Amino acid sequence: MSDNGLSDKIKGGISKTKGEVKDQVGNATNNKSLQAEGKMDKAKGEVQEGIGKLKDDK
Protein backbone atom coordinates (compact mmCIF):
# COMPACT_ATOMS: atom_id res chain seq x y z
CA MET A 1 0.00 0.00 0.00
CA SER A 2 1.39 3.40 -0.92
CA ASP A 3 1.59 6.24 1.57
CA ASN A 4 -0.45 8.50 -0.72
CA GLY A 5 -3.36 6.09 -0.82
CA LEU A 6 -3.27 5.57 2.93
CA SER A 7 -3.20 9.32 3.53
CA ASP A 8 -6.27 9.85 1.36
CA LYS A 9 -8.08 7.00 3.09
CA ILE A 10 -7.33 8.48 6.52
CA LYS A 11 -8.47 11.95 5.43
CA GLY A 12 -11.61 10.40 3.98
CA GLY A 13 -12.38 8.58 7.21
CA ILE A 14 -11.93 11.76 9.21
CA SER A 15 -14.18 13.73 6.87
CA LYS A 16 -16.87 11.04 7.02
CA THR A 17 -16.74 10.92 10.82
CA LYS A 18 -16.85 14.71 11.11
CA GLY A 19 -19.76 14.78 8.68
CA GLU A 20 -21.67 12.15 10.62
CA VAL A 21 -21.28 14.13 13.85
CA LYS A 22 -22.46 17.34 12.17
CA ASP A 23 -25.39 15.52 10.59
CA GLN A 24 -26.47 14.00 13.91
CA VAL A 25 -26.10 17.26 15.84
CA GLY A 26 -28.07 18.98 13.08
CA ASN A 27 -30.79 16.35 13.43
CA ALA A 28 -30.89 16.74 17.21
CA THR A 29 -31.06 20.53 17.07
CA ASN A 30 -33.23 20.74 13.94
CA ASN A 31 -30.45 22.71 12.24
CA LYS A 32 -30.89 22.07 8.51
CA SER A 33 -27.74 23.98 7.61
CA LEU A 34 -25.59 21.83 9.89
CA GLN A 35 -27.25 18.68 8.53
CA ALA A 36 -26.44 19.75 4.97
CA GLU A 37 -22.85 20.55 5.92
CA GLY A 38 -22.54 17.11 7.51
CA LYS A 39 -23.86 15.39 4.40
CA MET A 40 -21.34 17.32 2.28
CA ASP A 41 -18.48 16.29 4.57
CA LYS A 42 -19.56 12.65 4.36
CA ALA A 43 -19.67 12.83 0.56
CA LYS A 44 -16.22 14.46 0.52
CA GLY A 45 -14.93 11.63 2.68
CA GLU A 46 -16.30 9.02 0.32
CA VAL A 47 -14.51 10.68 -2.59
CA GLN A 48 -11.24 10.92 -0.64
CA GLU A 49 -11.41 7.24 0.30
CA GLY A 50 -12.11 6.34 -3.32
CA ILE A 51 -9.07 8.30 -4.47
CA GLY A 52 -6.97 6.50 -1.87
CA LYS A 53 -8.16 3.12 -3.12
CA LEU A 54 -7.39 4.09 -6.73
CA LYS A 55 -3.87 5.16 -5.75
CA ASP A 56 -3.32 1.83 -4.00
CA ASP A 57 -4.43 -0.08 -7.09
CA LYS A 58 -1.70 1.52 -9.24
User: What one-character DSSP code corresponds to residue 30?
Assistant: T
Containing domain of residue 46, as a range?
Answer: 3-57
At 14 the pLDDT is: 96
Residue-wise pLDDT tens digits, 2-48: 567 889 999 999 999 999 999 999 999 999 999 999 999 999 999 99
This prediction has a pTM of 0.84
CB 34 within 8 A of CB 26: yes
The phi-psi region of residue 2 (left if phi > 0; otherwise alpha if psi is between -120 and 50; otherwise beta) is beta
pLDDT at residue 4, rounded to an integer: 77
Give the count of domains, the chain. Answer: 1
| Residue 1 confidence (pLDDT) | 45
